[in-house]
Amino acid sequence: MPDAIAASVGGAVINALVYDLPQVIAISLAPVSPVAFPNANTVVVLTATTNCWFTVGGTAAKATAGSDYLAAGTKWMLKIPAGQALSFIADSAAGYVSITPALPPAAPAVALLNIPAAAQVFDFTTGVLDASITFTRTTTGPYFDNTGTLQTAAINAARFDYDPVALTPRGLLIEEARTNSIRNNTMVGAVAGTPGTLPTNWTQSTNTGCSLNVVGTGTENGIAYVDLRIFGTATGGGNFNFLTDANNNAAATPGQIWTGSCYMKLVGGSLTNISSLSMGLQFFNAALTIVQGTGLPGIMPSAANLAVQRFVTNPQTAPATTAWTRLSLNINTAAAGATDVTIRFGLPQLELGAFATSPIATSTVAVTRAVDNASAPLGGWYNQNTGTFDAEYIYEAIGTGQQTAIQLDNNSSDRMLIFRGTGSNQIVATCIIGGAGQFSFNAPQQTVALQLYKVAFAVDAVNGNNFAVSGAIVGSGLGAHPTTQTFLRLGAQGAGAAQPLNGWLRRFTYYNTALTPAQLQALTVY
């Protein structure tokens, strides 16, 4: 017999769920649906043994608007309207889906609350941009598709990015503007031979006694590369350095923070007598004398796909007297002895900023990728007086500036927003009217990169405001909120996309009523 469970507040039942615990559904490459849910707004958790797609109240279809992607081994919590059924279809291999009531961790015998239907939902894991959203970017932009291949989105085209390892959707990629100062990272001008010719603007230096063989160029996973072989008898521990541009190409000033990155792969020979690979950020003064050279040591690439082996330097602060900077790619020998290794170097990047962003292809000059800017008008679905907005997102890195998930504004200083604070490195929800902060809630935990965050912010000037992060209420209290809002900013602040997310926005949901603290907690449970 199925189990019956109910949630109650003050002795009053507010939702009931009758369901096997758990219900396990076999899925295949044809759509399949379990029985419909009899009760309104039942909240369940889905877990799959295979990558699959699902929808509510329709028929699931792969990579189609209206169907959501569920990666194997991950959990997805959702609310099912009364009389509706789930539909599943496997992505590439048959498996199973477990459907379990979503229960609060502290009270496993209590079902979740009756959460009302959302007034607006933007799901950015589907690969389809809602027609009400305006998206701009004045340049092209790179992203990984669902095969793990690096692609280029057209000007003003949204980037629905995938994890190149798991091949699962990350969501809508929102990044600040960045410039790759390396003029040629697509290996133009390289000629195979021994030694051969390095890509245009590249040079090399060595104290190892080994020889160079430019094996060739090509593209793997959409990443342009050059294969460089170091061979011979090393005279001792030393460095074979590939200098990716002239030492007076990328202007820099003291105090600036720079980051280097490069894809690397072992494609021939072995790492015998190779102590490691490394990347160095070199800083030069006006006389072109090196004043500092540090970066990322200890790199040991494998034969895995190039797309999953991007190495990033530690961010480096330009020292006093800095006038120029450059990225060096180094193969380091351990001792005297036979050495023969071929390394694939792909799309090296040198950018002004405290972390690496998506790779920017260049061939003759430095190239800038513009900021991603997404917004939507607040339509009839929005309630100026009270409401709840929640978001699901991932930071690609933690920077030095604010990183905004969501903002609602009226093109003035009146705004409500959720962002990562700079000093605290905490997620903050705040309301501002006429430039004056009305209230602010800070999550206690420190934010980290590549972690999924679920947040929900309910505003109600009469009954109180609440903010939940990762299943916990982190702020509550009275305070006014602006009531003349006209725009939703997705992953940034204001019309100019200031303080962008620098990460992946996966979902935005709006409820035109203030949800209770318990409901906010339920929405933000992983």
Place of tokens 């099912």: 80
Asked if 283 contacts 352 with a C-beta cutoff of 8 angstroms, the reply is no
Asked if 350 contacts 153 with a C-beta cutoff of 8 angstroms, the reply is no
pLDDT by 10s per residue, the chain, length 526 = 233 333 322 222 223 333 334 567 788 888 988 777 766 667 788 888 888 999 988 899 888 888 888 888 888 888 788 778 889 999 888 888 888 776 544 333 334 478 899 999 999 999 999 999 999 999 999 999 999 999 999 999 999 999 998 899 999 999 999 999 999 999 999 999 999 999 999 999 999 999 999 999 999 999 999 999 999 999 999 999 999 999 999 999 999 999 999 999 999 999 999 999 999 999 999 999 999 988 788 899 999 999 999 999 999 999 999 999 999 999 999 999 999 999 999 999 999 999 999 999 999 999 999 999 999 999 999 999 999 999 999 999 999 899 999 999 999 999 999 999 988 899 999 999 999 999 999 999 899 999 999 999 999 989 999 999 999 999 999 999 999 999 999 999 999 999 999 999 999 999 999 999 999 999 998 7
Residue 127 is predicted with a pLDDT of 93
Q: In Å, how far from its chain's centre is CA 59?
A: 29
Listed residue (489, 521, 513, 519) closest to 119, CA to CA: 513
Residue 40 is predicted with a pLDDT of 62
DSSP 20: -
Q: What is the CATH number of domain 203-369?
A: 2.60.120.260
Q: Say which CATH class 123-171+372-523 falls into.
A: mainly beta
Compute the distance between CA of residue 447 and CA of residue 428 in angstroms, rounded to an integer: 11
Listed residue (426, 468, 429) closest to 447, CA to CA: 426
254 class by beta-carbon count within 10 Å (0-12 exposed, 13-18 middle, 19+ buried): middle
Burial 198-236 (b: 16+ CB within 10 A, else e): bbebbebebebebebbbbbbeebbbbbbbbbbbbeebee
Q: Is the peptide bond before 195 cis (omega within 30 degrees of 0)?
A: yes
Q: In Å, how far from its chain's centre is CA 18?
A: 37
Residue 9 is predicted with a pLDDT of 28
Residue 394 is predicted with a pLDDT of 96
* Amino acid at site 328: S
Report the predicted TM-score, pTM, of the whole model to 2 decimal places.
Answer: 0.79
Identical topology for domains 3-114 and 123-171+372-523: yes
Going from the C-alpha of 448 to that of each of 106, 425, 429, 492, 508, the distances in angstroms are: 25, 9, 17, 18, 20
Residue 282 is predicted with a pLDDT of 96
Residue 6 is predicted with a pLDDT of 32
294 class by beta-carbon count within 10 Å (0-12 exposed, 13-18 middle, 19+ buried): middle
What are the residue ranges spanned by the domains of the chain?
3-114, 123-171+372-523, 203-369
Q: What is the CATH number of domain 3-114?
A: 2.60.120.10
